[in-house]
């Protein structure tokens, strides 16, 4: 994932000044995360760029895209909230700070009641719905790239995703996101069952295709 991929999408719906503001956030984020890498070995900046692209595909505003690019700088670099406010405005700083506060909460779901309470707390914490959207996009990309983690870490994150983030996406009417989060969670929680289901779906698809060919 490179910045040009994101810029190409942004230019479809943002004006040039807004695109320039997002690019400024990218330069800041790339510098802040310089030398950092993900478990996969990729440069860390590829992750926030991917999160930003998920949101850009939804046509979110430029402060949301900038905040997505910067969403890990408070937590993972020496960057202060005040620096973000000074460089990008209070709107972006509030969004990044909101995502950082969610990330600071450690939670390992044990039962449905606890998961429901945590979902309510997250929604109450986020005074701006864009904070939740950024966090959901962050979780989607993390789930897409979960293979680089240990098995126990994958299962813990997948369970949390299934219990917390998929239901939040569903509650917000983000049904495509809900389905992807649930599918990815199931894949890591029950890999054998997931593989069997995929094979069955593929088999039925092949049969249906064959029947269609015969009738045509």
CATH for 21 = 1.10.3210.10
Mean pLDDT across the stretch 6-35?
98
Same domain, 98 and 115: no
Between residues 37 and 201, which one has the greater pLDDT?
37
Asked if 43 and 116 sit in the same domain, the reply is no
Q: What is the model's pLDDT at position 116?
A: 77
Statement: residue 122 has pLDDT above 60: yes
3-state secondary structure the chain: CCHHHHHHHHCCCCCHHHHHHHHHHHHHHHHHCCCCECCCCCECCHHHHHHHHHHHCCCCCHHHHHHHHCCCHHHHCCCCHHHHHHHHCHHHHHHHHHHHHHHHCCCCCCCHHHHHHHHHHHHHHCCCHHHHHHHHHHHHHHHHCHHHCCHHHHHHHHHHHHHHHHHHHHHCCCHHHHHHHHHHHHHHHCHHHHHHHHHHHHHHHHHHHHHHHHHC
27 and 113 part of one domain: no
Please say whether the beta carbons of 173 and 123 come within 8 A.
no
Which of these three, 55, 73, 104, is where a domain ends? 104
**211 and 118 fall within a common domain:** yes
Give the range of the structural domain holding residue 80, as residue numbers without chain letter.
Answer: 1-104
My answer on whether 213 and 116 are in the same domain is: yes
> Do 95 and 158 lie in a common domain?
no
Looking at the structure, tell me whether residues 117 and 99 fall in a common domain. no
What b/e sequence results for 180-202 when a residue is b if at least 16 CB atoms lie within 10 Å of its CB, and e otherwise? bbbebbbbbeeeeebeeeeeeee
Which residue, 14, 134, 115, is CA-closest to 75? 134
Active site residues: 75-76
Contact 71, 96 (CB under 8 A): yes
In this model, does residue 105 exceed pLDDT 90?
no
Are 128 and 151 a contacting pair, CB within 8 Å?
no
Q: Is the pLDDT of residue 216 over 50?
A: no
Query: End of a domain among 104, 134, 152?
Result: 104
Q: pLDDT band for 208, please (50, 70, 90 cuts).
A: low
Q: Express each pLDDT in 38-93 by its tens digit.
A: 988 899 999 999 999 999 999 999 999 999 999 999 999 999 999 999 999 999 99
Q: Could you tell me if 212 and 190 lie in one domain?
A: yes
One domain, residues 65 and 25: yes
Tokens standing for 190? 């029950």
Instruction: Indicate whether 146 and 120 sit together in one domain.
Output: yes
How big is the chain by its Cα radius of gyration, in Å? 19
Residue 84 and residue 7 in one domain = yes
Asked if 215 and 113 sit in the same domain, the reply is yes
Domain stops at, among 104, 121, 141: 104
Give the count of domains, the chain.
Answer: 2
């Amino acid at each position: 994932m490179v910045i040009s991929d994101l810029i190409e999408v942004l230019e479809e719906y943002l004006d040039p000044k807004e695109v320039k503001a997002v690019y400024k956030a990218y330069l800041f984020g790339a510098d802040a995360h310089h030398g950092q890498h993900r478990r996969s070995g990729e440069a860390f900046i590829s992750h926030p760029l991917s999160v930003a692209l998920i949101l850009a595909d939804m046509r979110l505003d430029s402060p949301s895209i900038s905040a997505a690019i910067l969403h890990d700088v408070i937590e993972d670099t020496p960057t202060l909230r005040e620096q973000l406010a000074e460089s990008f405005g209070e709107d972006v700083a509030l969004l990044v700070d909101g995502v950082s506060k969610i990330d600071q909460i450690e939670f390992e779901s044990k039962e449905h009641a606890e998961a429901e309470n945590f979902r309510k707390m997250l929604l109450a914490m986020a005074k701006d719905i864009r904070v939740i959207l950024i966090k959901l996009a962050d979780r989607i990309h993390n789930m897409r790239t979960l293979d680089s983690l240990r098995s126990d870490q994958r299962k813990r994150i997948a369970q949390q995703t299934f219990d917390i983030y998929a239901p939040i996406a569903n509650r917000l009417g983000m049904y495509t996101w809900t389905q992807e989060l649930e599918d990815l969670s199931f894949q890591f929680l029950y890999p054998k069952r997931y593989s069997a289901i995929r094979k069955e779906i593929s088999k039925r698809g092949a049969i249906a295709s064959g029947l269609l060919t015969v009738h045509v």
